[in-house]
Chains A and B, each alone.
Chain A
C-alpha cells in the first residue's frame, strides 16, 4: 500500500524521534565505542536491525523491550507491536496503516522523595511524549529491592494541568512498610485510543538513576513492619441445608495477623460439578479482631447438591494477601452445604444471539454508530452482551457494551408512545472511531453473551454465522467522499 503520510507527519515524527533517540541511545553509543563489533555486513544497511531491534550492552541484538517503542523509526521501517507477532512475510509497517499507532513514550522518571518513613507520601514526576493521542494517567509499581514482591507500593501518575508532557506521581507508603530501598519495576502507559507500551527499569534508561540502577527511594526503619499475611485459624459453617434461590448460608472464619491485623476476608463457593462459582465478601465482626462472618444465597438457577467452600482469601491492614484452597487446606474439608434444587430449574445453557447489525453501513470519522443485537435465553434471561469491533488491519479495536431496551428499575420511561413495549431481547450500544484510529472497514469480530445464571458464550466472526460479515465503513471526509469510503487503495 502506498504511503500517505504527509511531510508534516514525517517531520513531526522525525523531530520528536531525534530528541528521544539521542536521549535513549546515548548509553548504547557509549557501549558500542568500547565494542566495535558487530558491524553490519558489507554493503547492507544492517539487515538484522529490525524496527524493534537495538544493540544491548553485550553488543548483540536485543528486543523491543529495550527500545523506545518505535518513535525513532520512519513509518516505512516501523512494525507496530501487534504485527511483530505475525510471521515475517505477513508483517505490516506503520506506512501501511491509517491513523496513528505510536504508543506514548516515557522519557523521564524521577522520585522526588529520596527518604521516607512508613506511612509517608512518596512524590515523583515523569515525562511522557504522545502528541497524537494524549497519554493517560498511569501507575508504576515499586518493590522493596530485597524482599521482592512481598513488599510493594504503587505510585499514581496524573497529567499536569498545563504542561502537556509532565505527569505528577503520588503514592502513600503503608505505615507497615518494610525498611530498605524501594525501586521501580514496571509501568504501562497507554494513550486515549489504547496504544500502549510497557516500560521496565531493567531496560529503560528513563527509569534508571545515573549508575543504571532503577529509580527509587529509601524507607527508614520502623517498629511495625508487616510483610506477613494473616493466617487461617478456623472455619465454621452454620447452615447445613438450603434451597437454591431460598435460604441463606451463614458461615464464619477466624484469621490471625500479628502486626497490622486482618482486615478483609473473601470466599469462593463452588457447586458439586464445579460449573458454578460464587464469590462472597465477608464482614469483620466489631470488637472481635479476626472474626469474619459471611452470608450468601445460591441463585435460583444454579445446580443443587453439595456445595463446597473452595477458597478463602485473607488480607491484612498492610495489604498482605494469602489464599487457602480446599484441596490443600484440611481446615476447609468440612466446609460444605447441601443445596436442594429441581433439575428442571437448573440453567446451564447460555443465551443465544439470533441476529446482529450496525445501524449504518458508512460513517464519517467521529460519527457514532449503533450496534443492535437480538438475543434470547431459555430459562433465566439475558444478562449482558458485549461486542468487539476491530479495525481493518486489527491495529485498533473498540469494546461495545450493550444495554437491554427494557428499562431498569427507577429508570425514566418515555410514555409518549404507549404502544411501545419494553423489549427485553433487543440490546443496543454505540461506538465511535476517531481520526487517530485506523479508518476503513471495521468489523464486528466477537460478541459475548451471558444469562442471569452466568452461562456465557462468545461468538466469533470466523466461526459463528450469526455475526459473520457485519461491517461498517469509517471514512475520512477530508480526504475521500462517502462513495469512496471502504474501497481499498489510496486514502
Chain B
C-alpha cells in the first residue's frame, strides 16, 4: 500500500532520523522558540506530511477521551450490538473508523504511551508530550482544565498513574493534568480528608493555584461523602474486583468532573479488559474471555450513560466531544485455556475501531480507509487548540470533521511500508498568495469577497 508522494520523499529510516533530531529539540524547524509557526503566515499548520488550516474555528470546548486500555476487538464492541448496544447505537451520531492500525500488539506500557504521545517510544512513562500537554500548552488553561482518571496505579506489570505527563523537557509535569487513581482515593474504608488525599495523590508540579487545589479537595470530599464514586447499577453487574470496579468508577466520575469543572479535556483510562488473559501468573484471578465480555457489556452501558448525560445538558451537548479508541485489539481466536491474548500478527489485534462524537464531527459517517494509532494525538491537539502536535508522528484524521471546515485529504502517516510525503512549503505559500490575490482582485473589481 503506498500513499501519494510528492517530488521528494522520506523513507522510514530518514523519518526516524528526523525523529531523533526532534528529540534533541530540532523539530522539523516549523516552530520558533515561542512555539509559533515560523513559516509564512497563512501557510497553514504542519503535521507531518499534512498542512492544515490555521484557526479552524471548531465548536468543541470540552473533550472526553476514553482509551479502552489493554485492548478490545471491534467484533466484540462496535460490530457487536449484542455486547455493546450503546456504542453501536452511538455510532450513528458520529464518525467511526473501522481500520485503525497499530504496528505493535503487545507490551501495554509502550502501546499506551504511543496512543497518548503519538510516538512509538519504548518507555512506560511517555517520553514525548501527551495530548493533554499539547493542548494545555497551546490552548492554555489551568491544571483543573485537564484531568486523567484511572482505576488503579499498577496492574500486571503495567503502570498507569504516570502517563498524564511526559518526560519531555519542553513539556512535562507543568503541562500535565489532574490525575486521580480510583483505588487510592475512593473506597468505603477511606479515612482521610480531601486535603490529605490530594496532598498524597496529586503531583505538586501541576501548577494548581491555591483556589484550584481547594476546589479539588472539596470535590474529593463531596464525592466521598455522597458516595457518588459508587458505579450505578448496570444490566451486566460491575465485576467486584479492584481493576474492573475502578474502570466503572472512572466512567462514573467523568460526568461529575465535566459538570463541576467544565474542563477542556478528561482522559479516562480503562484497564480491566486485559482480564481476557489476566490469570496468566495470577492464579487467584479466575479471568478469561468471558470475563472480558462481561466487562465490555458493563463498560458499554457506562459509556452510554456518559454520552446520555452529555446530551441531556443543553450546554455540554453543543460543546463536548467524546472520542473512544482501544489501546490495541486482541487476538483473532480465544485459546484453549479460554484466554484471549493480544499477539502480533493477529488481524484483530492490530486493527481496531475509533469513534468520534461531537459538534465538529460528521454524523453517521464510516471511514474504511486505514489510519494509524499515532494519529490520535495530533487529531485531538488540532481539535482542541487548532495547532499541531510537533513531536507526534501521526496525522490529523480530517475525514471525521464536518465538510464546512474544508480540511485537506488525510494522508496515512509513515508506517513500516508507507513513506512520508514531504511538504512543499514554497508551493503552498505561493498557492495561498495566488488565492489571496484572486480574492483581493475580486473584492476590488466586483465588490464581493468571502
Contacts and interface: CB of A to CB of B under 8 A. Distances in A.
A is bound by B: yes
Interface of A: 35, 37-38, 41, 47-48, 52, 56, 58-66, 81-89, 141, 143, 146-150, 152, 178, 180, 183, 185-186, 188, 194, 196, 198, 200-203, 225, 227-229, 231, 268, 277, 310-311, 313, 320-323, 325, 327-329, 384, 386, 388, 390-391, 393-397, 445-446, 448, 450, 456, 458, 460, 462
A174 B386 CA distance: 43
Given A58-B205, A202-B125, A87 B416 contact: no
Interface stretch (B209-217, B222-230, B282-290, B310-318): B282-290
Contact of A185 (B104, B122, B288, B344): B122
A390 B283 contact: yes
Interface string B229-263: 00000000000111101000000000000000000
A203 B159 contact: yes
B202 interface: yes
Interface string B106-150: 010110000000011111110000000000000000000000000
Contacts of B288: 458
B417 A82 contact: no
B441 interface: no
Interface string B1-33: 100000000011100100110010000000000
B296 interface: no
A456 B284 contact: no
Contacts of A323: 344-345, 350
Contacts of B336: 384, 386, 448, 450, 456, 458
Contact of A228 (B12, B120, B122): B12
A313 B343 CA distance: 13
B55 to A, nearest CB: 33
B155 interface: yes
Given A58-B205, A63-B153, A150-B16, A196 B281 contact: yes
A213 B443 CA distance: 60
A277 B345 CA distance: 13
Interface stretch (B77-85, B185-193, B403-411): B185-193
A41 B337 contact: no
| B203, B284, B370 interface centre (most CB from chain A within 10 Å) | B284
A66 B159 contact: yes
20 contacts: A48-B197, A60-B200, A62-B159, A62-B161, A82-B283, A84-B242, A85-B242, A150-B120, A186-B107, A203-B159, A228-B11, A322-B417, A325-B350, A328-B351, A328-B370, A386-B336, A388-B337, A446-B337, A448-B336, A448-B337
Contacts of B337: 386, 388, 446, 448, 458
| A37, A59, A146, A229 interface centre (most CB from chain B within 10 Å) | A146
Contacts, number: 192
Contacts of A394: 283-285
A15 B90 CA distance: 58
A474 to B, nearest CB: 15
A396 B282 CA distance: 8
Q: How large is the interface on B (under 10, 10 to 19, 20 to 34, 35 or more residues)?
A: 35 or more
| A-B pairs with lowest CB-CB distance, top 10 | A394-B284, A63-B153, A198-B157, A63-B154, A397-B283, A65-B159, A143-B122, A146-B20, A458-B338, A82-B284
A48 B124 contact: no
A146 B286 contact: no
A284 B99 CA distance: 31
Nearest to B121: A148
Nearest to A259: B13
B153 A462 contact: no
A62 B338 CA distance: 33
B276 interface: no
Main secondary structure of the interface of B (DSSP, over half): loop
A194 B279 CA distance: 13
Contact of A65 (B153, B173, B203): B153
Interface string B153-174: 1110111111000000000010
B332 A277 contact: yes
A459 to B, nearest CB: 10
Contact of B192 (A48, A84, A225): A48
Contacts of A313: 345
A149 B104 contact: yes
A143 B109 CA distance: 14
Nearest to B105: A323
A322 B241 CA distance: 38
Contacts of A178: 16
Contacts of A149: 103-104, 107, 110, 120, 122
B122 A65 contact: no
A63 B350 contact: no
A229 B347 contact: no
Contact of A462 (B20, B173, B187, B286): B286
Given A60-B201, A63-B161, 16 more contacts: A65-B154, A82-B282, A82-B285, A84-B154, A86-B241, A87-B241, A89-B189, A148-B120, A149-B107, A150-B16, A186-B107, A200-B109, A203-B159, A227-B12, A277-B333, A321-B344
A310 B347 contact: yes
Nearest to A394: B284
| A81, A141, A462 interface centre (most CB from chain B within 10 Å) | A81
A287 to B, nearest CB: 26
A180 B20 contact: yes
A466 to B, nearest CB: 15
Given A63-B153, A65-B124, A391 B159 contact: no
B124 A200 contact: yes
A329 B347 CA distance: 12
A196 B157 CA distance: 10
B284 A395 contact: yes
B431 interface: no
Contacts of B152: 63
Contact of A85 (B16, B161, B200, B243): B243
Given A311-B347, A325-B351, A41 B155 contact: no
A112 to B, nearest CB: 22
B314 to A, nearest CB: 37
Interface string B67-107: 00000000000000000000000000000000100011001
B333 A327 contact: no
Contacts of A183: 122
B36 interface: no
A438 B200 CA distance: 35
A41 B192 contact: yes
B282 A61 contact: no
A460 B337 CA distance: 10
Given A61-B184, A328-B351, A386-B336, A85 B241 contact: yes
B430 interface: no
Nearest to B338: A458
A231 B417 contact: yes
Contacts of A311: 345, 347
B196 interface: yes
B245 A202 contact: no
B155 A85 contact: yes
B426 interface: no
A183 B99 CA distance: 33
Contacts of A395: 283-284
A325 B122 contact: no
B284 A86 contact: yes
B356 to A, nearest CB: 21
Contacts of A56: 162
Contacts of B416: 228-229, 320, 322
B195 to A, nearest CB: 10
B184 to A, nearest CB: 6
A230 to B, nearest CB: 9
Contacts of A198: 157
A148 B370 contact: no
Nearest to B240: A87
Nearest to A66: B159
Contacts of B204: 35, 37, 58-60
A391 B333 contact: no
| A35, A62, A310 interface centre (most CB from chain B within 10 Å) | A62
